[in-house]
A and B are shown apart, each in its own frame.
Chain A
Amino acid sequence: MTELISIAIVGPLVAAACSLALRSRPFLRDLAVLAGLGSAALASHIMLVAVARDGTHTVAVGGWAPELGIVLVADLFAALILPVALTIIFVVEIFAIGQRRTVWAANPELSGPLLCVLTAGVSLAFLTGDLFTLFVAFELILVSSYVLLTHQGNRDQVRSGMTYVVMNLLASTLFLLGVAFVYSATSTVNMALLAERIPQLDTGVRLGIGAWFLVVFGTKAAVFPLFSWLPDSYPTAPTTITAVFAGLLTKVGIYSMIRFHNLTAMDDLGPLMLMVAATTMVVGVLGALAQSDVKRILSFHVISQIGYMLMGLSLFTVAGVAGSILFLIHHMPVKAVLFLVGGLIENHEGSSSLDRSGGLARRQPLVAVMFAIPALSLAGIPPFSGFVAKLAVISAAIDRGGTVVVVVAALVAGGLTLLSMSKIWNEVFWGRPTEGPRPSPAPTRGQRTMHTATAIAVAGTLMVALFAGTLLDLSTEAAESLRNPATYIEAVRP
């Protein structure tokens, strides 16, 4: 078990170093990247099986006591989310290899190693058991994301990269100040000890800390009104990079919020968070309706969907948190697939702008199907995974009562999501093909790789729908242990 946790974090880092050293040998370089990402993904799947069977496992790094050193905690919540995240990165890297010869591709010499570093950061963020290591993991993710976003150095990327970098640097600074506040209030940064000590603080100090971290994690997760950096920056990066960012980065923010605010019992912030969630859902989807580019529409949907995850969490009930966890599991692959399909549209149409594409369904029926399934899932149409996840969140809200406004907002946002998805469908897949010069698409072999990777990812989203019952049971179990942190504390400090 200790080995599995180490492989998930160290494996990608080793792969990053190897692929940098092998950067003049394309085949070996890609092999190193795929091996690093693949081994981490495999380790995380085995970890899920082991944790579901034997319960939480902790590693005290360097053998230090939890008050002093770093602990890594593989509890059910972490073990449930980690395989989804790492598998997505692996599939996206396969897609990136297929996309390589086109004008939209990322520079493989840089993007491979950086993707590995980002993966290590994601693993660390999910597995860490203390607040400061969470900060380091965020920085690991963000630093590689800054470079991935701006590495081609064209005008749009530098412009939007500036907003992205400055906004996230500010959030990181606030995070660190928050760590200082928490340390001076409780003399620890270990999550298990915080779960014991923060509920005993004065109400003012306790809620101050909770609200402070709501802002910090909220900026990372792009909730209203802290989302302005996201729709500007995501569409300018190469598709594969946007797919990873949209699938994972904001979700790491939500994950941290679910963990921190539940372990430290910030239930009193619930009403405020519910309001933020409702506004995020509606504002995000309204922003999407105004856009006329596939990647920009999808970026606004990232924001809107964050609202649902925040909504489940803000209920602070087992069913609500379980709904949020299930929504995370559903949303990460669906969002990544939609961006991959956006990449396929770019490849076949020469642009992801709605005005410059049309009639793709006739020429590429497979691409149309691969768009339709995750798009319907995103809008929450049965029998896809989005329906199950939304049902879990909304029924938890109805069970708790007093949440009429947020339930209505969730249903309205769902309808509007369907509307903007049908807008993409009408403009890109139906209608007449537009005329005009198109940059040459990827060679046939590259296209086949891209199609296969996307098809695997679509199959993955269908698996989430197929095993929704099992996943909801596991999510409920994870939510129970987050709501009652006794087992978590027990595991970290035997």
Chain B
Amino acid sequence: MNGALLLAVGGLTAVGLYLVTGRSLSRIVLGYSLLGHATVVALIAAGGPAGRPPIAGQAEPEAMANPLPQALTLTAIVISFGLTLFLLALARRQRTITGDDLVEDDLEDRRIAAPDSLPGEQENQAAT
């Protein structure tokens, strides 16, 4: 297996994961596309050594590169491209609503976690 490809997969995944864990959606988009590249390189690396283009008649079958991972890669690229666009649209929508593109906390979670608003206490307050 090719060491340079493995190194590329590792590096891209590390940087991608770091960016995805941020709160800003534009960073997440960048991180996601890096992760997408990492998977593409990983799939190609999984296909074995490089070779001639796998087109019938242009090369001997033994000299061809493995075409199956290439087909898988193509599908993966299309999917990750579409989803990157969707993420960007979501970030734009968030900017229109709140003025920034940060991932917000769940207010309902906050309300339930806050000690002064337990459902039982609310009833007590209503009763008194």
Are B97 and A173 touching (Cβ within 8 A)?
no
Contact mask A113-146 → B, CB, 8 Å, 1/0? 0000000000000000000100010010001001
A129-167 vs B: 1/0 string, CB under 8 Å? 000100010010001001100100101001111110110
Query: How far apart sit A304 and B13, CA to CA, in the bound complex (Å)?
Result: 32
- State whether B20 touches A166 (Cβ < 8 A): yes
Tell me, in angstroms, the Cα distance from A364 to B71 when the chains sit together.
Answer: 56
Residues of B within 8 A of A (CB): 1, 13, 16, 20, 25, 28, 32, 35-36, 38-39, 42-43, 45-47, 68-69, 72, 75-76, 79, 82-83, 86-87, 90, 93-94, 97-98, 103-104, 106, 108-109, 112, 119, 122
Q: Which of B42, B46, B82 contacts A143 (CB 8 A)?
A: B82
A-B contacts at CB below 8 angstroms, number: 94
Report which of B38, B45, B72 forms a contact with A132, defined as CB distance below 8 A: B72
Interface contact A169-B83, CB-CB below 8 Å = yes
Question: How many angstroms between the C-alpha atoms of A215 and B29 in the bound complex?
Answer: 22
- Write out the residue numbers on chain B whose beta carbons fall within 8 Å of the beta carbon of A132: 72, 75
What residues on A are CB-neighbors of B69 within 8 Å? 180, 183
Which of A262-270, A287-295, A313-321, A328-336 sits within the interface? A287-295
Chain A residues near B47: list those with CB within 8 A. Answer: 183
- The interface residues of chain A lying within 8 Å CB-to-CB of B76 are 176
Residues of A close to B72: CB separation below 8 A: 132, 179, 183, 189
Given A165-B86, A165-B90, A169-B32, check contact A179 B43 (CB 8 Å): yes
A291 CA / B46 CA spacing, docked (Å) = 46
Contact of B93 among A153, A170, A293 (CB under 8 A): A153
Closest to A181 in B: B46
Chain A contacts of B108 at CB under 8 A?
291, 293, 296
Q: CA separation between A422 and B38, bound complex, in Å?
A: 49
In the complex, what distance in Å separates the CA atom of A354 from the CA atom of B111?
14
Known A-B contacts A166-B28, A183-B69; A161 and B90 likewise in contact (beta carbons under 8 Å): yes
Report the separation of the CA atoms of residues A155 and B104 in the bound assembly, to the nearest whole angstrom.
10
A/B interface sample: 14 pairs, CB < 8 A: A139-B79, A159-B94, A165-B86, A166-B20, A166-B32, A170-B20, A173-B38, A177-B42, A180-B42, A181-B46, A183-B47, A184-B45, A232-B106, A355-B122
Across the interface, B32 reaches (CB within 8 A) one of A160, A173, A179, namely: A173
Q: Are B75 and A232 in contact (CB under 8 A)?
A: no
If A155-B97, A158-B94, A163-B103 touch, whether A180 touches B82 (CB-CB below 8 Å) is no
Report the separation of the CA atoms of residues A68 and B36 in the bound assembly, to the nearest whole angstrom: 24
**In whole Å, how far is B87's beta carbon from the nearest beta carbon of chain A?**
7
Known: A158-B94, A162-B103, A232-B109. A183 touches B119 (CB 8 A): no
